[in-house]
Amino acid sequence: MASLRKAVVPFLLMGLLVTAGCGNEERIEVPKQSVSVVDGDTIKVKMKKKEETVRLLFVDTPEINHPNFGKQPLGDEAKDFTQKLINEAKKIELEKEETKRDKYGRFLAYLHVDGKLLQEELVKEGFARIAYVEQPDAKYLEELRDAEQEAKRKKIGIWQWDNYTKKDGFHVEALKNEKNIFVASKNSDVYHPIGCHVVKEIKQENLMYFYSEQEAMRTNRHRSEVKGCWDN
């Protein structure tokens, strides 16, 4: 009976964590098979036949399918990075700082993979910016700020392009003159410079970004012949 009680307790705690909260700084282990990745900063966790959307606290990654912003550069890469860390993790834990949901009803939490804070790893690798901070003394905020400063210094990920990442989010329009970003449709065998006027005609669900012309060519695509889109 005692062993059965020990097995059941984590699941009951998780239910309380997700629905009501039970004290500050709860850290609950969740089975890997219960976690699915929505995008770089959002996951879904299924426990006891209920699926909860969890938004990672204090970070923002580029979008992959936003109703207003569509797909943004490095959105797919941020999702792949989060997926990789979760796939490789032997232990996944959710931690809340306080009982809170965002305006979309998503549960807010930290996510730990094998003892590493996933938020910090995203920021460190340049896949996320610090965002939506309401508590200036929030737990892990100092570590996140240090990681962000280092990513900015290295000019990696979202920080490699001037004016792409700002306090209010990511700005694709700031990249129109970038020489090393190319765009293609999943259904096409050609690619265009990101500033080409035909790019806006590509459906968001088919949009693909490449960060060098060699990368685009490796997909067996070739330059488009759209007039006015190429310097040479």
The residue annotated as part of the active site, out of 63, 97, 120, 148, is 63
C-alpha torsion sign, points 49, 52, 56, 61: positive
How confident is the model at residue 25, as a pLDDT? 54
- pLDDT at residue 68, rounded to an integer: 82
Band (pLDDT 50/70/90 cuts) for residue 232 is low
CA atoms within 13 A on the CB side of 86: 28
Stretch 135-141: mean pLDDT? 88
Q: What percent of the chain has pLDDT over 70?
A: 88
Least confident of 75-79, 84-88, 102-106: 102-106
Whether 221 sits among the annotated catalytic residues: the reply is no
Reported as a single tens digit per residue, the pLDDT across 11-64 is: 434 453 544 343 445 789 999 999 999 999 999 999 778 899 999 999 999 999
pLDDT at 206 over 60: yes
Topology at the third CATH level for domain 2-167: OB fold (Dihydrolipoamide Acetyltransferase, E2P) (2.40.50)
Whole-number pLDDT of residue 24: 47
Can you give the pLDDT at residue 56? 97
The mean pLDDT value for 158-179 works out to 96
The one catalytic residue among 26, 55, 120, 129? 55
Active-site annotation holds for 27 = no
Q: What is the pLDDT, as a whole number, of residue 27?
A: 86
Mean pLDDT of 99-118: 92
Calculate the average pLDDT of the chain: 89
> pLDDT value at position 137?
84
The predicted model gives 93-99 an average pLDDT of 84
- The residue annotated as part of the active site, out of 26, 77, 93, 106, is 106
Domain with CATH 2.40.50.90 in the chain: 2-167
63: annotated active-site residue: yes
Lowest mean pLDDT among 46-55, 110-119, 205-214, 215-224: 46-55
